Amino acid sequence: MTSDDKTYAGKGRVVIRGASVMTMDDGIGDFDSADVLIGDGKIIAIEKTIPVDDALVVEAAGKILMPGMVDAHRHLWQDLAKNYSFGNFMFDTNVRYGPMCSAEDFFLANYIGGKTALDSGVTCVVDFCHLLQNGEQADAAARGTLAAGVGGFFCPQLLPPPRSYLHGKPIDAEAAWAETMAAADPEGVSVLAELRDRHFPSKDGRLRFGVCLTGTEFAHRTRAQIHQEFEYARRLEAGLVTQHLLGVSGAWRAGMERSYRTIPDLHAAGLIRPGFLVAHGNGLSDEELSMIADDGGSIASTVMGETAYAYPSVHARFHRASGAASIGADGTGRDTHDYFQHIRLAKYGLYRDEENIGLAHSLRPQDYLRLATIEGARALGLESQLGSITPDKQADLVLLRTNRTFFPQVGDLASRVFGYSSIEDVDSVWVCGERVKQDGSLIGFSWQEQFAKCQAAWSRIEAAARKIEFQGALGPTFPARGS
């Protein structure tokens, strides 16, 4: 592309000058040095040189410009518990501590969680906001994510019936788990509809409205209950429907017959459609992955957290099935929020069995980066709007410094970014053309101040949790291999 002596005029425009541009658009390719013009929230042009009038110039020579990254599965609220060490992570987060969060806690947690994503260059996130107990908490969580300024989908979980033990009543640990993982309460659907209308009047905003279904494999379910939640999501006109699914026979704790498998059931019922995103899916067979791909669904593998799962992540097998594969950080209260580490683990986490080792060797650095950019966007149905540096797409951009010791100065851009980039290299971030990080720091945000608020909130949550007496032993909270 050449400038042909064109002049781009207009106030509020920004030209990022002289960067090496990794577009992730196969039709455009990469540039050793180019200018990128953005305005009105979109990418206007990519050319060797762009003459501009009345535009802010960001000098980017020696830096790499790449698309903003996509995280297809993250629990933003868990950033409230950063650096906290849990005993039984699943029980502690879901039953012991999470339910003690107030509405104010959810606002703070989602606000910090959104900022944490932006800090590492993630501009589009699927906020899988589970553990909500009422409309007040759901509203606060939505406001927190919106205030953070991150794009993507806010996906509140369908609300469960009220829990009986939140006011100090002793309860059997198994009963508490069952209450937490219960099927959706029909009365909660109207509550979420009001939230959608209040905060997400447009389906094309920076942050869109979605829904996460309850964890059907984690507590007793009937087929009717499993199918009914898809109907609730349809009534809510959710732009994205996402669900935790591990892919275990008998749906594990659901109490179904041993031969029952969730994905074949959903496939036969016509419930897997574009806009359905499976989180995890580690126990799914190749045939089941093909069902999802053929029906237009997608997969989000949380490759760092899944290293502890009984089966390897499925993103490479799903990619082989021509499915829209993506990755996510899951809970950065436990794992690093340096998203480049998660991208690298999308490769190295495959080295657990012979089949996946072969797949790992078949994929190139740009293939792994695509999971977090254009393919991640495709998994969310947003590939026409973001995920690559393409004119007329949303101006979600990340500018990387390359002057760190040992950061390679030669080689193709994808290999350099995949192999060596880290959060400390993230100089600037734009979301919909708005610069939210500059010179390595989030604009208008103090980590020290916000973490002090987190510590105070968590101390209060811990004190409330200590008042609950959980009796008896809890069975496994995660299925073993062969389940």
Compute the distance between CA of residue 146 and CA of residue 111 in angstroms, rounded to an integer.
8
Does one domain contain both 125 and 234?
yes
Helix (H/G/I), strand (E/B), else coil: 131: coil
Does one domain contain both 29 and 129?
no
Instruction: Look at residue 4 and tell me whether its pLDDT is greater than 50.
Output: no
Task: Classify residue 268: in a domain, yes or no.
Answer: yes
Does one domain contain both 210 and 298?
yes
Task: Classify residue 308: in a domain, yes or no.
Answer: yes
Q: From the DSSP assignment, how many helices (H) and strands (E) are in the chain?
A: 15, 20
Does one domain contain both 193 and 231?
yes
Compute the distance between CA of residue 88 and CA of residue 107 in angstroms, rounded to an integer.
25
Task: Classify residue 346: in a domain, yes or no.
Answer: yes
Does one domain contain both 278 and 411?
no
Task: Classify residue 450: in a domain, yes or no.
Answer: no
Does one domain contain both 248 and 298?
yes
Q: State how far the alpha carbon of 437 is from the alpha carbons of 115, 120, 417, in Å.
A: 10, 10, 19
Task: Classify residue 354: in a domain, yes or no.
Answer: yes
Task: Classify residue 461: in a domain, yes or no.
Answer: no
**CATH number of 429's domain:** 2.30.40.10
Does one domain contain both 436 and 347?
no
Does one domain contain both 253 and 349?
yes
Compute the distance between CA of residue 472 and CA of residue 15 in angstroms, rounded to an integer.
62
Domain count, the chain: 2
Q: How confident is the model at residue 5 (pLDDT cuts 50, 70, 90)?
A: very low
168: enclosing H helix or E strand: none
Does one domain contain both 350 and 418?
no
Backbone phi, psi, residue 65, to 5°: -105, 130
Residues 252-271 have pLDDT tens digits of 777 788 888 999 999 999 99
Q: What does the pLDDT average to over 141-161? A: 97
Task: Classify residue 219: in a domain, yes or no.
Answer: yes
Prediction pTM value: 0.95
Burial of 197 (0-12, 13-18, 19+ CB in 10 A): exposed
Print the domain residue range for 180: 69-379
**CA-only gyration radius of the chain, Å:** 22
Residues 42-75 have pLDDT tens digits of 999 999 999 988 899 999 999 999 999 999 999 9
Residues 338-350 have pLDDT tens digits of 999 999 999 999 9
Asked whether the beta carbons of 122 and 371 are under 8 A apart, the reply is no
DSSP 344-403: HHHHHTTTTSHHHHHHHHH--HHHHHHHTTHHHHHHTT-TTTSSS--TTSB--EEEE---
Does one domain contain both 360 and 283?
yes
Q: Nearest 5°: CA angle at 403, between 398 and 405? A: 125
Residues linked to residue 45 through DSSP beta bridges, in sequence order: 37
Residues linked to residue 429 through DSSP beta bridges, in sequence order: 398, 437
Does one domain contain both 294 and 201?
yes
Residues 371-394 have pLDDT tens digits of 999 999 999 999 999 999 999 999
Does one domain contain both 366 and 327?
yes
Task: Classify residue 457: in a domain, yes or no.
Answer: no
Residues linked to residue 66 through DSSP beta bridges, in sequence order: 398
**CATH number of 327's domain:** 3.20.20.140
pLDDT for 83 equals 57
